[in-house]
Amino acid sequence: MINIKEFLTRIKAFLGLAYYTSPLDQFLEKFDQEHPRLSKSQRFEVDKYKIIFEMRDDSNYPLPKKSFWANF
């Protein structure tokens, strides 16, 4: 089965929309393909930012009772 990233790459190439990809971006893309699972700290970051984005985008988001800064 083809993943979405590969599918979009093929569509871009077919339409002649392929752009320059830096060696660093190529390395990062290859690394992501070889290491699809997130580490514990990466998963924490993803979850943290999901909450931040929800709070930013939803004006009625219930605020937590405990402050983020309470542990500092």
Q: pLDDT tens, 21-64?
A: 889 999 998 998 998 898 999 999 999 999 899 888 988 888 77
Higher-confidence residue of 61 and 71: namely 61
CB neighbours of 46 closer than 8 A, spacing ≥ 6?
38
pLDDT of amino acid 47? 94
User: Is residue 51, in this structure, part of any structural domain at all?
Assistant: yes
pTM: 0.45
In a domain, residue 26? The reply is: yes
Token duo for residue 15: 């339409």
Asked if residues 54 and 61 have their Cβ atoms less than 8 Å apart, the reply is yes
- Whether 38 maps to a domain, the answer reads yes
Domain holding 37, by residue range, is 18-60
- Distance, in Å, from the CA atom of 23 to the CA atom of 65, rounded to the nearest integer, reads 46
What confidence category does residue 72 fall into, taking pLDDT thresholds of 50, 70 and 90? confident
| pLDDT attached to residue 71 | 77
Structural domain tally of the chain? 1
Cα separation of 36 and 38, whole Å? 7
Q: Is residue 48 part of a domain?
A: yes
Q: Is residue 23 part of a domain?
A: yes
* 47 found inside a domain: yes
Whether 34 is covered by a domain: the verdict is yes
